Every structure is written in structure tokens, then in C-alpha cells.
Amino acid sequence: MARHENLLLLLSSSSSLLLLLLFGVVLTCAVGAPFNVTHLAFHEGYSHLFGEGNLVRSPDGKSVRLLLDRFTGSGFISSDLYQYGFFSAAIKLPADYSAGVVVAFYTSNGDVFEKTHDELDFEFLGNIRGKQWRIQTNVYGNGSTSRGREERYTLWFDPTEEFHQYSILWTAKNIIFYVDDVPIREVVRSEAMGGDYPAKPMSLYATIWDASNWATNGGKYKVNYKYAPFVSEFTNLVLQGCTVDPIQQLPAATCSEKRSALEAADYAAITPARRAAMRKFRQRYMYYSYCYDLLRYPVPPPECVIIPSEKQRFKDSGRLKFGGHHRRHSKHRNHVSEGSSSEYQSDA
């Protein structure tokens, strides 16, 4: 009986691995060549934000490591603020045990507009060995922090093994989050969103920090500094868009040109192939969406596009009806007796 079950588990996990691999190939083929963008050296667009000594530049100045140890995390910030832009980096996440560690790649103006800040987030929620990594995107406009717009996903690859490109496009018309060249989320600005659509100048941030009390299952897993330092690496740095003086708030004269260039860029167009890849990604890897969380938002916020085939996968809590393949994984780990690690997956 037990052996039989083990075999089934083995079969189902290897077939889901195969599907995962196939799907990765399909996603990659569907969208074609990466974006045509210029990569910056660190000093050309960014500066050290916090964590003395825990930001380490590569000898050629094009890459940077952000470390978290028991004394501090670390971070960097773009030297300019942008009013609309394309923000991108290839990121490699800390390997092995990183529960409680959060790596964030985001735009914000919280330093300039404390009460009415805007923010666009990629958050990588730390992991325990052998689990699938989970990432979160979020959007806040004009201090709308009481109206979270979170979505959470797993990935079709292990983000600790190699660099993958994560990008945020922000224009006056829409916001697109990309993983490599797959758009994973689009927010189209609508009149009804009002100030909830981010519109004030923002800086780009990258940080690594101890989120023991926040990220991993409500703090059940603390950062374990036995595995420190936790190292995240950033390269292929891209900043495009119009830089704005935060004090004067007057866009530089060239802004309209830069905004047109942004809207005309390759990454601003969701081609039919990209749209298909986005659908597939969301169908397979999204495991929470605020748009389907009817307990929180009985009427979904105005920008939500309700796709019936997508909606039917979710309960009224915005979480998946069935655990999907990661539920099976946690069961599997029970079998190889890593004990309570299955409790880690409470989001499914």
C-alpha cells in the first residue's frame, strides 16, 4: 500500500516535472527574442541605499550582489526618479534554505510622498530547500495600501539556479510585469481606478531583508542565520523612461519624446503570442489573485479582468480550489520525512 502510493507520487511528480519542462519550452518559443535594451553599469544609474558592506559590486561594475547576514540586509536605489519607465534586472536568488528572506525589486516614492505613495512590486518570498519558489506582484497608487492588489505565483524554473530577467513596464496607459519575456500580469489603467493608478514619479529599488514575521507563512519560518550570508545577484540592469526632478515635479522637456519611445518599445506591446503566453502562465502558475478574492473584495476592483476559465480554479478566498502540483510536492516531502515542511504551504 505504502509502496504503491510512493510509486504513484513518483509518477505524478515526474509527469508534472515533464509538463513543467515542456511548458517552459512552449512559453519560451511563443514569445521569441528578448528585449532590445541597453544594460547599465551600476554607477551609471544606481546608488547604495543601506547595508554597509553588504552591497558588493563585481569588478566590471555591471553586476551587484546584495547580502543579508545577521547584522543587516542591503539595498540599492536608482539615482533618479522616473515618471513612467521600464525597470529591469536579471536576478539570481539565494540558494538552499532562505525561508524568511525576502528579495524585492520594486518602484516606489514612499520617501517623497509618505502618505500618498505609489508602488509596483516584485517580491520573492524565501524558500525552504526543494520547495517551489513563490513570487508576488503588487500595485499601490496614491497611498492605497489598504487596497492590496496582490497576485502570487510559482515559476516554471528554479530562480536560484540561473539568472532570469524580471521587468516592470509602467506607462500612463498600462503596467506590465514580465518574467523573462513572458508578461505575467497586465494592469490597464481605467478611469474608475482614479488615484489607485500609480502616476507620481518613482525610484527603482532592490533590497534583501529579514521578513521572518511577514513572508513565509505568517512568520512560521524564521530566517536561519546558520545559512547566512544570503546572496542575491543582480545584472543586466535596465532603466528607461523620463527622469523627473522630485522637488520641482516638472518633467524634463524631453519627457513626451521619452514617453512615446516607451510606449512604442517592443516590451510595451502585448502581441497575440505574448498574450497567449500570459494566459498560459496565469492558468498554470498563479495561485492567488485579489481579483478572485470575493471575501476581501465582494466587487472586484475596477481594473480586474475576470476570465471565467481562470476564475473557476479559485475559491472565494482568491486561493486555488485544488493545490495543483505544489500540493503534491508537499505530500511527497512528507514521505521523505522532512516533517513539518508541508505546513509551509498554507497558501494553496
Ligand X SMILES: *[C@@H]1O[C@H](CO)[C@@H](O)[C@H](O)[C@H]1NC(C)=O
Residues assigned a catalytic role? 119, 123
Residues that bind ligand X (CB under 6 A): 36, 116, 142-143, 194-195
Residue 278: CB minimum distance to ligand X, A = 22
Residue 69: CB minimum distance to ligand X, A = 39
Q: Which residues pair with 239 in a beta bridge?
A: 87
Q: How far apart are CA 228 and CA 209, in angstroms?
A: 12
Residue 116: CB minimum distance to ligand X, A = 4
Q: How far apart are CA 223 and CA 331, in angstroms?
A: 24
Residue pair 118/199 in contact by the 8 Å Cβ criterion: yes
Name the residue with the smallest CB distance to ligand X.
195
CA atoms within 13 A on the CB side of 69: 8
Residue 31: CB minimum distance to ligand X, A = 15
Nearer to ligand X, 117 or 152 (CB): 117
Rg of the chain, C-alpha, whole Å: 20
Nearer to ligand X, 35 or 163 (CB): 35
Phi, psi (degrees; rounded to nearest 5) at 156: -95, 10
Q: How far apart are CA 61 and CA 235, in angstroms?
A: 10
* Residues shown for the chain: 348
CA atoms within 13 A on the CB side of 297: 17
Nearer to ligand X, 130 or 143 (CB): 143
Nearer to ligand X, 38 or 337 (CB): 38
